[in-house]
Amino acid sequence: MTPEPSPAPLRYDRGALLADYARAMIGLVLCAGILLFLDPIAWVAWPLMAGLGLFAAFLLQTLAKDRTRIAADADGLQAVVDLGPLSIRNSIQWEDLQTVKLRFYATKRKSREGWMQLTLKDGATTVKLESTLDGFAAIAKTAGTVAGRRDLPLDTPTRENFLEVGVRLIEQT
């Protein structure tokens, strides 16, 4: 089972990206505002500066996801992050796939709400995709099918998460 060639590159969900941009900007404004206008004492300023750095990193990560284009076909997967003069291209051929991990991250304890992250490695290249990517389920199913067909070792959480997305893996012997 391989995905049909994408007529257009796959992108991350616009609504999820806008929510992440809003979270990053609110965090930056709050931290910077307190630092600039309230002149906090050192033991308050240091955590605020750390928060400022974390929210800035989150903003950059969101920008990278916004500029990411994924193409999947019968041969493999290509991810391109276009940041103007800096363009990062990663590709993995299904036949070279060595490691597959599918993780679920809950937003609340003991909750079924959250997101999944698919990690694909071919030895030299690693591509990580989140479930907010359009076409994520098809790519995850393909990766699971390829992993099963190639008898790649999969840990228990990955096996359980593949069952959640509808991929029944063949037991390894």
The backbone torsions φ and ψ at residue 84, rounded to the nearest 5 degrees and listed phi first, read: 70, -120
Task: For residue 66, give the nearest of 109, 110, 21 by alpha carbon.
Answer: 21
Quick check: 53 and 45 in contact, CB under 8 A?
A: no
Looking at the DSSP bridge assignments, the partners of residue 12 are: 133
Res 76: pLDDT: 92
Tokens of 107: 């937003």
Quick check: 122 and 96 in contact, CB under 8 A?
A: yes
Res 108: pLDDT: 83
Quick check: 100 and 162 in contact, CB under 8 A?
A: no
Question: Residues in the chain with pLDDT < 50?
Answer: 1, 5, 173
Residue 59 has, within 13 A of its CA and on its CB side, a CA count of: 14
Res 91: pLDDT: 93
Res 170: pLDDT: 65
Cα gap 36→168, rounded to integer Å: 55
Res 7: pLDDT: 53
pLDDT digits (tens, 9 = 90+) for 24-57: 999 999 999 999 999 899 999 999 999 999 999 9
- Cα dihedral 37, 40, 44, 50 in deg (nearest 10): 40
- Predicted TM-score (pTM) of the model is 0.83
Q: How many CB atoms lie within 10 A of CB 162?
A: 23
Res 120: pLDDT: 96
Res 173: pLDDT: 46
* 66: exposed, middle or buried (Cβ count in 10 Å: 0-12, 13-18, 19+): middle
Looking at the DSSP bridge assignments, the partners of residue 40 are: none
